[in-house]
């Protein structure tokens, strides 16, 4: 545990690279996800130290500190997640100062990574610090989209945070998958309603600008070939604001880290400095 956060780590393969010279990759998961979802990707990115953590309120990390119904009027949910990310990065990079840092944020985790690097977040001294976001939402820019996030908020206001968590989970995996989950696991997912509601509501608050990583952080933007239309639009808006290109992952959906771990890990590996880069996708 690190400051109440459940952290997973994986060492680089010493047959691939000297671990003392390896970059650090930190994965940030999305809404109602957890660090374990990156396990197959982490195994494939074997030429770097890889780290993933359960964001506060999810998985094995401490319970959400905000209101039990997720109605945090101060709108500080994302700020809490940003502070947690900075704490994790500070800890793991402090163990190997001067080496490259790579943040990989999926979905809402991508928005957390963007906000963290847009202001007062030191980059690695190597100058190779990169932020990769895959289908990060920009909910305050959504117009006319009946997104799962917007519908989840409506359900939460109508029936409570636990109902919102169930609604969102069903919208992600389907009713049949939800019914196959055991009763204890369903209850645990419902208990994540407060953090889910708090971050979804906070993410929709009007912001003056799209968060773009500050130099020397570099930005990579990814989307799945069959990802949701509103997330493709968000990627285009982010690209316009930052000057970065949108990279399309062939055949991938929103859950590419789960459904296409070879392609997702290969995409991550392309952001490692050339001298540390090894394509992990072949033959696995």
Average pLDDT, the chain: 91
Q: If you average pLDDT over residues 90-100, what whole number do you get?
A: 87
Instruction: Say what the pLDDT of residue 124 is.
Output: 61
The pair phi, psi for residue 131, each rounded to 5°, is: -110, 125
Two tokens at 154? Answer: 């409506």
Residue with tokens 């570099």: 218
CA–CA separation, 48 and 25 (whole Å): 7
Query: Do the Cβ atoms of 172 and 147 come closer than 8 Å?
Result: no
CA–CA separation, 90 and 239 (whole Å): 27
Instruction: Say what the pLDDT of residue 215 is.
Output: 85
CATH class of residue range 7-139+209-276: alpha beta
How far out from the chain centre does Cα 117 lie?
13
Q: How far is CA 218 from CA 100, 145, 150, in A?
A: 12, 30, 30
Q: If you average pLDDT over residues 69-84, what whole number do you get?
A: 87
Instruction: Say what the pLDDT of residue 278 is.
Output: 45
CA–CA separation, 78 and 198 (whole Å): 8
Closest CA to 195 of 165, 168, 157: 165
Selected residue with higher pLDDT from 128 and 250 = 250
Q: How many CA atoms lie within 13 A of 63 on its CB side?
A: 11
Instruction: Say what the pLDDT of residue 233 is.
Output: 95
Q: Where are the domains of the chain?
A: 7-139+209-276
Strands 130-134 and 218-224: parallel
Two tokens at 58? Answer: 């999810």
Strands 130-134 and 48-53: unpaired
Q: Is 282 exposed, middle or buried (0-12, 13-18, 19+ CB in 10 A)?
A: exposed
CA–CA separation, 238 and 212 (whole Å): 8
List pLDDT tens digits, range 181-213: 899 999 999 999 999 999 999 999 999 899 999
Is the model's pLDDT at 113 over the cut of 90?
yes
Question: What is the pTM (predicted TM-score) of this model?
Answer: 0.94
Is the model's pLDDT at 284 over the cut of 70?
no
């Amino acid at each position: 545990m690190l400051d109440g956060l459940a952290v997973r780590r994986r060492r680089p393969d010493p047959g691939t690279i000297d671990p003392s010279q390896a970059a650090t990759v930190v994965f940030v998961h999305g809404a109602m996800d957890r660090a374990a979802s990156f396990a197959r990707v982490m195994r494939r990115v074997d030429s770097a130290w890889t780290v993933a953590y359960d964001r506060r309120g999810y998985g094995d990390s401490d319970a959400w500190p905000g209101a039990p119904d997720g109605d945090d009027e101060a709108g500080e949910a994302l700020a809490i997640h940003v502070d947690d990310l900075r704490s994790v990065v500070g800890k793991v990079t402090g163990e190997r100062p001067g080496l490259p840092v790579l943040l990989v944020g999926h979905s809402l985790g991508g928005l957390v990574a963007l906000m963290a690097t847009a202001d007062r977040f030191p980059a690695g001294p190597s100058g190779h610090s990169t932020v990769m976001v895959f289908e990060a939402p920009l909910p305050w820019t959504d117009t006319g989209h009946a997104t799962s996030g917007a519908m989840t908020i409506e359900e939460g206001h109508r029936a409570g945070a636990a109902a919102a968590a169930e609604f969102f989970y069903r919208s992600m995996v389907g009713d049949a998958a939800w019914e196959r989950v055991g009763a204890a696991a369903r209850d645990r997912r419902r208990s994540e309603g407060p953090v889910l509601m708090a971050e979804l509501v906070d993410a929709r608050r009007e912001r003056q600008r799209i968060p773009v990583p500050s130099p020397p952080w570099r930005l990579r933007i990814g989307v799945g070939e069959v990802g949701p239309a509103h997330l493709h639009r968000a990627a285009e808006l982010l690209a316009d604001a930052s000057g970065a290109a949108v990279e399309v992952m062939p055949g991938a959906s929103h859950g590419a880290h789960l459904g296409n771990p070879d392609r997702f890990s290969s995409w991550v590996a392309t952001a490692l400095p050339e001298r540390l880069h090894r394509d992990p996708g072949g033959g696995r």
